[in-house]
Structure formats: C-alpha cells, structure tokens
Amino acid sequence: MHMWSNELGLFGGNAIVAAQMPIAAGVALAAQYQGQDSVIVCFFGDGAVDEGAFHESLNLASIWKLPVVYICENNQYSMGMAVEKAWAVDSLLPRAAAYNVPGEQVDGMDVIAVYEAVTPAVERARRGQGTTLLEIKTYRFRGHSMTDPAYYRTRDEEQKWRATRDPIGIFERKLLELGTATQAEFDDNDARATQVSEDAAAFAENSPFPTLDDLYTDVMVDNSTALSYRYERN
C-alpha cells in the first residue's frame, strides 16, 4: 500500500476503495495538458465499481478524452461480498457503454489475453482517443486479508479455481506446448523470484525502525508550517 516512486511513475496504492480513480484522471489530465505521451494505468477491484468515484471518473475521462486506462480486476469478491450480489448487471460492458468508452471483458487467468487487451487500450489512450474500461476476470485464491477465514465461500470453489485456473500454471503449460520455454527455465524463474522475495523480506527485517524525529517529517513540504511541528515540537 505504501509504495510510491516518482522515478518510475508509480502513484501509490490508496486504502480508500476507488479514490485512486479520480486521482488517476487528474494525473492523466496533467500529461494531456503538458503534451506528454505518457499513459496512466489505473487498477481497481470489483468493489470499486460500486463507489460513486468509479462512475464520476469514467465520465470525466470520457468527456475530456484523458489518457488513462481503467482496469478492473474482478476477483468476484469485494472483501466478502460476492459480485453477483453487489452488481445490478453481470458485467462491466453496460457501464462502459453508459460512459461512451470502449469496454472489454478479458480472461484474467490468461496472460496473453490480458496482454492483447491492454496493449491496444494503452495505444488508444496514447493516440489521444481517450480511456478504455477493461474487466479482467480473475479470482482471489486467498482470503481478503491475513485474518479472513473466507466463510462467505466454499473450499470446493477455491480448490476448483486453484486446480484449473491458476494463471501461472496455464501460461507455463502454453509455453511448453509451443516449445518456447522449458521446465528448467520455469524452475530457474521460480528460484529467482523466491530469492528476490526473501532478499526483500530480509532487507525489511534488517532495516532500522524510523527515528522519533520521523514522526513529524513530511506532513507538509515546508514542515515548519505544520501546526503540530510548531507547537508540539517547541
């Protein structure tokens, strides 16, 4: 949630569902205004579709032809609420039509299908033709959080998805069939990914905690104008 990189153009996560959607529209506006050819890609879940910000953002991005691609990762549960109980329609396509933007449903467990849907959407945005709404249908294998026992769905359902629809497994089988990669390469990849994760975890564990001076750092750009800084620190 707390990842941001000015250097990479990564504008963070947002712990308020759908709040990233208006902000993404604004970053896209800045790109359009300054004549840059960058495209903003904004991810959100099926729960965000229920928020007003989703609708307002799609509308604004449409009328201003903003270079933003809105990608809904529909994993079928907003925390524990099943999408079929929350949505009045069973797909995002009518919503895309409502805001006069192209929409597409994509099998999110098929890496190549996702690539083939996102690429033209990004190109379209870059050409100045505005936003696209993609519904990437997927599944969340685990609970919503570390403490979610997922009582709202069956273990059978989870098992079925894991066994038959794992996107990494599907992609590997496809590449093997095509002969473009070998099992040894996958094993090597897995080992490297594991190593990167373990290194990152070790880095985090071995990093020092913030100092108490950090408590008041970065409230404002000019922190001396922050109220707490002026009084509590004096």
Partner 1 sequence: MTYRDALREAIREEMLRDERVFIMGEDIAGYGGTYAVSKGLFEEFGAKRVRDTPLAEEVITGAAIGAALGGLRPILELMTINFSLLASDLIVNSAAKLRYMFGGQPAVPLVIRMPGGGGAQRGAQHSQMLESWYAHTPGLKVVMPATPYDVKGMLKSAVRDPDPVLFIEHELLYNIKGEVPDEGFEYTVPLNRGEVKREGRHITIISFSRMLHVTLQAAEELAKAGIEAEVIDLRSIRPIDIDLILDSVKKTNRIVIAEEGWKYYGTGQGLAALIYEYAFDYMDAPIQHVTSADVPMPYSKVLERAALPNKDDIIKAVEAIVPPALVGR
Interface ranges with partner 1 (CB under 8 A): 2-6, 11-12, 14-16, 19, 21-31, 33-34, 52-53, 56-57, 59-60, 63, 217-222, 225-228, 230-231
> Please, what is the minimum distance in Å from the beta carbon of residue 204 to partner 1?
14
24, 57 Cβ separation under 8 angstroms: yes
Q: With respect to partner 1, which residue has the nearer C-beta, 63 or 193?
A: 63
137, 91 Cβ separation under 8 angstroms: no
Q: With respect to partner 1, which residue has the nearer C-beta, 175 or 226?
A: 226
114, 105 Cβ separation under 8 angstroms: no
Q: Locate tokens 């709404």: which residue?
A: 133
Q: With respect to partner 1, which residue has the nearer C-beta, 12 or 80?
A: 12
> 10: which 2 tokens?
């990564």
> Please, what is the minimum distance in Å from the beta carbon of residue 41 to partner 1?
13
Q: Label residues 51-77 b or e (16+ Cβ within 10 Å = b).
A: bebbbebbebbbeeebbbbbbbbbbbb
**Is residue 216 classed as helix, strand or coil in its secondary structure?**
helix
> Please, what is the minimum distance in Å from the beta carbon of residue 112 to partner 1?
31
> Please, what is the minimum distance in Å from the beta carbon of residue 8 to partner 1?
11
Q: With respect to partner 1, which residue has the nearer C-beta, 47 or 108?
A: 47
